[in-house]
Amino acid sequence: MPANNMLVRSIGVLALCCAASVALATPVIQHWHSASGARVLFVEDHDLPMLDVAVNLPAGSSFDAAGKSGVASLAHHMLDLGAEGLSEDDISRGMADIGAQFGGGFDPDRASLSLRTLSSAAERGKALDIMARVLQRPLFPEAILAREKARVIAALKEAETKPDSIADKAFNKALYGMHPYAQPVSGEVASVEKITVQDLTDFYRTHYQAGGAVVAIMGDVTRTEAEAIAQQLTGGLPTGPAAAGLPEVETRITASEQRISHPATQSHILVGAPGISRNDPDYFPLYVGNHIFGGGGFTSRLMNEVREKRGYAYSVYSYFMPLKLPGAFQIGLQTKKEQADEALQLVRKMLAEFVAKGPTEKELLAAKQNIIGSFPLRLDGNRKILDYLSVIGFYDLPLTYLDDFTRKVEQVTVAQIRDAFKRHIDPGAMATVIVGAPAEAAK
Amino acid sequence: MRTYLLCIALLSGGLYTEAQAKVFEHTLKNGLKVIVKEDHRAPVVVQQIWYRAGSMDEQAGVTGIAHVLEHMMFKGTKTVPAGEFSNRIAAAGGRENAFTSYDYTAYFQRLHKSKLPLAMKLEADRMHNLKLSADEFTREVNVVKEERRMRTDDEPHALMYEKMMATVFQEHPYRHPIIGWMSDLEALKVSDARAWYDRWYAPNNAILVIAGDVNAKEVFALAQRYYGPIPRRTQPPRREFTEPPQIGAKRLWVKAPAELPHLVMSYRAPTLRDPGQDWKPYALDILAGVLDGNGSARLNKHLVREQQIAADVGAGYDSVSRGPSLFTLEATPSKGKTVEEVEAALRREIALLVKEGISDEELKRVKAQVRAGEVYKLDSVFYQAMQIGQLETIGLGHQTIPVMLEKLGEVTAEQVRQVAEEFLQDDHLTVAVLDPQPLSGKPGTESGGMPHAR
Are A160 and B330 inside 8 Å of each other by CB?
no
Task: Quote the minimal CA–CA distance from A299 to chain B in Å.
Answer: 6
Burial B374-402 (b: 16+ CB within 10 A, else e): bbbebbbbbebbbbbbbbbbbebbbebbb
**From B18, B150, B368, residue closest to A315, measured CB to CB:** B150
Name every residue whose Cβ is closer than 8 Å to that of residue B333 and which is 6 or more positions away in sequence.
B260, B261, B263, B309, B310, B311, B339, B341, B342, B448, B449
> Can you give the length of chain A in residues?
443
Q: DSSP 3-state assignment of B330?
A: strand
Cross-strand bridge partners of residue A57: A111
Residue A149 CB-half CA count within 13 A: 22
Residue B250 and residue B242: Cα distance in Å, rounded?
Answer: 19
Cross-strand bridge partners of residue A40: A32, A215
Q: Which residues of A touch B162 (CB under 8 A)?
A: 4
B392-B397-B398-B404 Cα dihedral, nearest 10 degrees = -120
* Contact indicator for A13, A297 with CB cutoff of 8 Å: yes
Are B439 and A48 inside 8 Å of each other by CB?
no
Geometric angle at alpha carbon A278, from A27 and A417, rounded to 5°: 100
Reported ipTM: the value is 0.92
Q: DSSP 3-state assignment of B23?
A: strand
**From B94, B98, B257, residue closest to A9, measured CB to CB:** B98
Integer-rounded Cα Rg, in Å, for chain B is 24
Residue B426 and residue B346: Cα distance in Å, rounded?
Answer: 13
Q: Which residues of A touch B379 (CB under 8 A)?
A: 48, 50, 381-383
* Contact indicator for A305, A385 with CB cutoff of 8 Å: no
Mutate to test the interface with B, among A266, A301, A380, A388 (most CBs of B within 10 A): A380
Q: Which residues of B touch A410 (CB under 8 A)?
A: none
Query: Could you tell me the maximum CA-CA distance found in chain B, to the nearest angstrom?
Result: 70
Mutate to test the interface with A, among B55, B143, B362 (most CBs of A within 10 A): B143
One pLDDT digit (tens) per residue for chain B, 454 residues: 333 323 233 333 333 334 346 899 999 999 999 999 999 999 999 999 999 999 999 999 999 999 999 999 999 999 999 999 999 999 999 999 999 999 999 999 999 999 999 999 999 999 999 999 999 999 999 999 999 999 999 999 999 999 999 999 999 999 999 999 999 999 999 999 999 999 999 999 999 999 999 999 999 999 999 999 999 999 989 988 899 999 999 999 999 999 999 999 999 999 999 999 999 999 999 999 999 999 899 999 999 999 999 999 999 999 999 999 999 999 999 999 999 999 999 999 999 999 999 999 999 999 999 999 999 999 999 999 999 999 999 999 999 999 999 999 999 999 999 999 999 999 999 999 999 999 875 433 333 333 333 3
Q: Which residue of A has its CA nearest to B157?
A: A2
Are A374 and B70 inside 8 Å of each other by CB?
no
Task: Quote the minimal CA–CA distance from B395 to chain A in Å.
Answer: 18
Are A298 and B312 inside 8 Å of each other by CB?
no
Q: Which residue of B has its CA nearest to A97?
A: B365
Residue type, A6: M
* Contact indicator for A78, A27 with CB cutoff of 8 Å: no
Residue B219 and residue B207: Cα distance in Å, rounded?
Answer: 14
* Contact indicator for B130, B77 with CB cutoff of 8 Å: yes
Host H or E run for residue A381: none
Task: Quote the minimal CA–CA distance from A425 to chain B in Å.
Answer: 26
pTM of the predicted structure, to 2 decimals? 0.93
Task: Quote the minimal CA–CA distance from A137 to chain B in Å.
Answer: 20
Geometric angle at alpha carbon B226, from B222 and B229, rounded to 5°: 125
Strands of the sheet containing B429-437, edge to edge, are B250-257, B429-437, B262-269, B325-333, B310-317
Mutate to test the interface with A, among B379, B381, B442 (most CBs of A within 10 A): B379
Task: Quote the minimal CA–CA distance from A240 to chain B in Å.
Answer: 33
Cross-strand bridge partners of residue A318: A331
* Contact indicator for B265, B328 with CB cutoff of 8 Å: yes
Are A96 and B316 inside 8 Å of each other by CB?
no
Are A265 and B378 inside 8 Å of each other by CB?
no
Report the pLDDT value the prediction gives residue A5, as an integer from 0 to 100.
63
* Direct distance between the N- and C-terminal alpha carbons of chain B, in angstroms, rounded to an integer: 64
User: Pick from B101, B249, B87, B258: which is nearest to B179 by CA?
Assistant: B101
Residue A256 and residue A170: Cα distance in Å, rounded?
Answer: 11
Using the Cα atoms of residue A11, residue A16, residue A18 and residue A21 in order, give the sign of their dihedral. Answer: negative
Helices A382-394 and A401-411 pack at an angle, to 10 degrees, of 80
Helices A361-373 and B84-91 pack at an angle, to 10 degrees, of 60
Host H or E run for residue A143: helix A142-159
Pairing of strands B429-437, B250-257: parallel
Q: Which residue of A has its CA nearest to B106?
A: A8
Report the pLDDT value the prediction gives residue B2, as an integer from 0 to 100.
34
Residue A51 and residue A100: Cα distance in Å, rounded?
Answer: 10
Q: Is B361 a catalytic residue?
A: no
User: Pick from B45, B19, B49, B46: which is nearest to B32 by CA?
Assistant: B49
Are A370 and B151 inside 8 Å of each other by CB?
no
Candidate list B25, B38, B58, B70, residue with the active-site label:
B70
Mean pLDDT, to the nearest integer, of A370-392?
A: 96
Are A7 and B67 inside 8 Å of each other by CB?
yes
Residue B200 and residue A378: Cα distance in Å, rounded?
Answer: 34
Host H or E run for residue B80: none
User: Cβ–Cβ contacts within 10 Å for residue A254, how many?
Assistant: 11
Residue A94 and residue A440: Cα distance in Å, rounded?
Answer: 57
